[in-house]
Structure 1
Amino acid sequence: MNLLSVIKKEKEYWLVDQVRKEGCTEESYRAAFEQLLHQWREQNVGYLSLLMDPTFEDWLLARGFSKVSTIVEYTREINSSFSVDSGIVVKALVNAEMNDAQFAHLYERCRSGSANKNNLFTIEQVMESLENELGREWRTTCFIFQKSGEPIGLSIPVIEHGTVDEGRLFYFGVVPEWRGKGYGRAFHRMSLQLLKEIGATTYVGSTDEANEPMIRIFEQNGCVLRDRKGIYRIDR
């Protein structure tokens, strides 16, 4: 039984997420994680970042982890079409007049000033992870939102690895000067439509519990709270 989802980057990091399994005991999760933690130490990897139920917090802190923050996870069914703002143009990066360096700059602007506390990567590492995690055709998965020809946001809709129809947003954001004007809600709704078009029937999104603007967007677009997890980290 796969109780932990793991993304590995050579000797740099492991990103671990607890997989909820109905009927699975805390002892089973502890055993699975102890084994994984032993492997991480043996392989001399830089750090391990973990998403896990807060009920394990004291147990994790006793093993050398530090608490980073807490995320909330929202979900909704994708069983209808979603309206598109007529004043917004959506372009896939592969079709946009924007090179990778310009896209990286837009990405960095979108994530600047974020309330999310778990910013693990530099923008160079983010760009590297796009191909590592999404494949060589990653540019077809990245979408840019433009108003009057100006790029003001982006979204990266994907099907969650290991599923056939669970939609996620690898990243979603609005540039700082366009926040607080309703565009976040519109872009998120348009992202749900993009997920529908690639075959998603369910959406799962997460954000830091302190990110009230994103939580409002989830709720305004019909998402409901599904889960809450702590973010923990241990370094070599």
Structure 2
Amino acid sequence: MNLFNLIKKDQEYWLVDQLKVSHIPNIEYLVAFDKLLTEWKAQKVAYLSLLMDEENEDWLLKRGFKKVSSIVEYTKTLVGPFNNISTFQVDALSNSLVTDSEFAILYDSCRSGSANKNKLFSISQIMESLERELGTDWREQCFIFSQDGMNYGISIPHIEQGTTDEGRMFYFGVVPERRGKGYGKIFHSITLELLKTLGAKTYVGSTDTGNAPMRRIFEANGCILRDIKGIYRIDMKKVDELIK
């Protein structure tokens, strides 16, 4: 049984997420992660970013990790139907007149001023990762919310790697000038319906513990708090310095 979800990008990074299961004792996670960490060091990857239960924080700090922030995970069973009556146009990037470069600018605008502290990647790195993580049809999973010719936000629903029916949002956001008007709740609800069309039966979403607006959106759309995890990072450069 996989205890961690792992995404690798050449020698640049590993992204590791603890897959918590109630009947698995914590020591099994520590043993499994220790093996994973040894492999990461042997392969000399630039850095490793980890989502893990905060009860292991001291154990991680002693191994050279630094804490970035804490996140909350919310979940919802996707039974619907959702009340998505709105005047907004919802278009997949593949069917719109928006170019990839224009979508990148819109994406970057949506994430500007975010309360999330874990900002690992530049927008160019994010755009490069879309095909790698979502597949060649990634443009069909990138949605733009617009009205009267103006773009208000985006969302990127997908099925989580290693599962058949767990829905996630690679990203979800509203442009800065449209925030605080209730659009986030509408777009999030529409995206939950889009996840259903992809075959998702449950939804899992996460955000920084301090991101109150996003937490309100989760709760307004019936999502329930499932877990709290810490975000930790270790850099190979720091490891090499300690060895010297």
TM-score interval, normalised by the smaller of the two chains: over 0.9
Q: Which amino acid aligns with 1:55?
A: E
Q: Which amino acid aligns with 2:109?
A: R
Distance 1:207 1:85 in 2: 26
Corresponding residue for 1:182? 182
Q: Which amino acid aligns with 2:145?
A: F
Distance 1:106 1:2 in 2: 36
Which consecutive unaligned segments of at least 5 residues does structure 1 have? none
Superposed displacement of residue 82, structure 1:
1.3
Matched residue SS, 2:158 = strand
RMSD: 0.8
Which runs of structure 2 are paired with 1:21-60 in the superposition (5 Å)? 21-60=21-60
Which consecutive unaligned segments of at least 5 residues does structure 2 have? 237-244
Distance 2:147 2:208 in 1: 28
Of stretches 23-32 and 98-107 in structure 1, the one that deviates more from structure 2 is 23-32
Distance 1:124 1:148 in 2: 28
Distance 1:85 1:79 in 2: 17
Corresponding residue for 1:75? 75
Q: Which amino acid aligns with 1:37?
A: L
Q: Which amino acid aligns with 2:164?
A: V
Runs (4 or more) in structure 1 with deviation over 3 Å come to none
Superposed displacement of residue 24, structure 1:
1.4
Which runs of structure 2 are paired with 1:62-141 in the superposition (5 Å)? 62-141=62-141
TM superposition score normalised by structure 2: 0.95
Report if the CA contact (8 A) 1:81-1:196 is conserved.
Answer: no
Distance 1:183 1:133 in 2: 27
Q: Which amino acid aligns with 1:74?
A: Y
Distance 2:81 2:119 in 1: 32
Corresponding residue for 2:164? 164
User: Across the two proteins, how many residue pairs are aligned to each other?
Assistant: 236
Matched residue SS, 1:234 = strand
Superposed displacement of residue 198, structure 1:
1.3
Corresponding residue for 2:242? none
Calculate percent identity across the aligned residue pairs: 61
